[in-house]
Amino acid sequence: MSLNGDVCLVTGACGFLGKRLVRLLLEEEKMSEVRLMDKHIPLQFIRSLEDCRGKTKLSVFEGDIRDSDHCRRACQGVSIVFHIASIIDVVERVEYDEMYGVNVKGTQLLLEACIQENVKSFIYTSTIEVMGPNPKGDPIINGTEDMAYVSSLKFTYSKTKKEAEDRTLKAHGELLPNGSRMATCALRPMYIFGEGCRFLLGHMGDGIRNKDVLYRMSLPEAYVNPVYVGNVAVAHLQAARSLKDPQQRKVVGGKFYFISDDTPHISYSDFNHAVMAPLGFHIQEKIMVPLSFFYIFCFFMEMVCLMLLPFTRVVPPINRQLLTMLNTPFSFSYQRAKKELGYTPRYSWEEARKRTTEWLASELPKEREKIRSK
């Protein structure tokens, strides 16, 4: 099912995934209009899309997703919403009210605007972290959408994303003023990598400061399956096509889907090394201290920060839940997305790694200079 002639809105359009999806929509679909919604949209980004825009109208909606009037203006005349915008934070630097306001209230306001403005399809970008891992570190290997897992979410990020996902799926089938019904679905990508990934840049910077040796924070056997950003964008496009098709929306609507690809199962630390080894980086053989001691250290850091809270807010660089996430086998299958959405990874692991490494190589001189000048 083609999206030709549709008007779509992409929230978080200037983010890591948002940029990739916007370009994909312009390259593959003859849409009537693509609306970009973000707090700030640089003119340079708009100009970079001229080579693939064709006759599609590009509209800019700068503003805060927590502004209900802004959401409603952006949704007027829209048929499809890709809701990507959120605050991502796994070390609890962002205040709870800020994260809840953007991730949950912002999603709710956008859903309400969609209902008021007769938006037919709503695709929510969730995350694998709405599943966990739980504080016990119970593993999942090739998990599916049907499996049961006691999550006990601890991160504010994962809790707010889960609540926003629940609200999105609950809104499926809502009656619209024009008599039709809205269809929703949620996509749960694994850890997303690729060109523009700020987390990879951060790990590379740490490696530079450590004389080109990457820190090992994950046990080698703590297998996860990261997913390339280009494949996640393709999954979003397939979800929109499925929700537009009258028969497929009956199957897809109201569901969530795990989005992974054929990236080898590997630990987070070894993944960093896989994409940076061609640039001359090495990796520590073992975690610096025994994992049990690391947990105790994190616990004491958290207690100290808690005692200081009445006077000042201090955020430790790592906490027990992050350590659990980095050291728990946690991988998921994309087979249901393949069967029901028609999603197939477009980029192989070899091509995704090559593209990512080339991008990191282009950023390496800037990162070295930045660190030298400090």
> Active-site residue numbers?
157
Q: Are 226 and 271 in contact (CB under 8 A)?
A: yes
Residue type, 270: D
Asked whether the beta carbons of 323 and 294 are under 8 A apart, the reply is yes
Token pair for 182: 């809205």
- Reference 260, options 231, 281, 300; nearest CA is 231
* Residue found by looking up tokens 């605050």 in the block: 87
Type and span of the H or E element at 193:
strand 192-193
3-state secondary structure of 86: coil
In DSSP notation, 267-305 reads -HHHHHHHHHGGGT-EE-SS-SS-HHHHHHHHHHHHHHH
Structure tokens at 216: 């090992």
Return the number of other C-beta atoms located less than 10 Å from residue 134's C-beta.
Answer: 17
CA dist 113 and 126 (Å) reads 19
Give the sign of the dihedral formed by CA 208, CA 213, CA 218, CA 220. Answer: positive
CA 228 – CA 189 distance, rounded (Å): 9
The values of phi and psi at residue 314, to 5°, are -115, 135
H or E element, residue 187: strand 183-189
* Alpha-carbon gap, residue 35 to 26, rounded angstroms: 11
The Cα-based distances of 129 to 113, 143, 152 in angstroms read 27, 13, 11
Contact 268, 202 (CB under 8 A): no
Q: Which two tokens stand for residue 288?
A: 């610096």
